């Protein structure tokens, strides 16, 4: 089983400031087409998760461009260029190269 380790587990950010979440995988992620199978989700309080990023760096429809994903191999990052109040919630990375596993989640709140 591929293990996904997120850091930090929580962060508190002033509105307008950047934020970064790391996701490290226990195995190298790679799809046969060359696109790593790494996703990012945000679960806002009281809501189901929503897709932010697929294929490492592709924003899903309607996701603001302040969200960006990067990385390769075993290390991936979600960046928020300027945090807004609506970004509060728990962020999860996920791999689907070998079955499916989620990271443990990173809770973001506003200072």
Partner 1 sequence: DVQLVESGGGSVQSGGSLKVSCAVSGFSFSNYSINWVRQAPGKGLEWISYISATSTTIHYADSVKGRFIISRDNAKNTLFLQMNSLRVDDTAVYYCSTFDYWGQGTLVSVSS
Among residues 77 and 101, whose Cβ is nearest to partner 1?
101
Q: Report the alpha-carbon distance of residue 111 to residue 67 in Å, rounded.
A: 19
Binding test (CB under 8 A) with partner 1, winner from 5, 43, 74, 81:
43
**Of the residues 41, 42, 52, 83, which one makes contact with partner 1 according to CB under 8 A:** 41
Segment lying near partner 1 (by CB under 8 A), choices 10-18, 23-31, 62-70, 93-101: 93-101
Of 13-21, 27-35, 45-53, 66-74, which part binds partner 1 (CB under 8 A)?
45-53
Question: Is residue 81 near partner 1 by the rule CB under 8 A?
Answer: no
Q: Is 102 exposed, middle or buried (0-12, 13-18, 19+ CB in 10 A)?
A: middle
For 109, left (φ over 0), alpha (ψ -120 to 50), or beta? beta
Question: Distances in Å between the alpha carbon of 47 and those of 42, 50, 72, 82?
Answer: 9, 9, 30, 22
- Helix residue ranges, H only, the chain: none
**What residues line the site for partner 1 (CB under 8 A)?**
1, 39, 41, 43, 48-51, 54, 60, 90, 92, 94, 96, 99-105
């Amino acid at each position: 089983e591929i293990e996904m380790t997120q850091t930090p587990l929580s962060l508190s950010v002033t509105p307008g400031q950047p934020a970064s979440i790391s996701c490290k995988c226990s195995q190298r992620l790679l799809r046969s087409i060359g696109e790593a199978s790494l996703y990012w989700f945000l679960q806002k309080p009281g809501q189901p998760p929503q897709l932010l990023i697929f294929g490492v760096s592709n924003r899903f429809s309607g996701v603001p461009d302040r969200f960006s994903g990067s990385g390769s191999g075993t290390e991936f990052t979600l960046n928020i260029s300027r945090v807004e109040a609506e970004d509060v919630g728990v962020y999860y990375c996920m791999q689907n190269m070998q079955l499916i596993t989620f990271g443990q989640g990173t809770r973001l709140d506003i200072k």
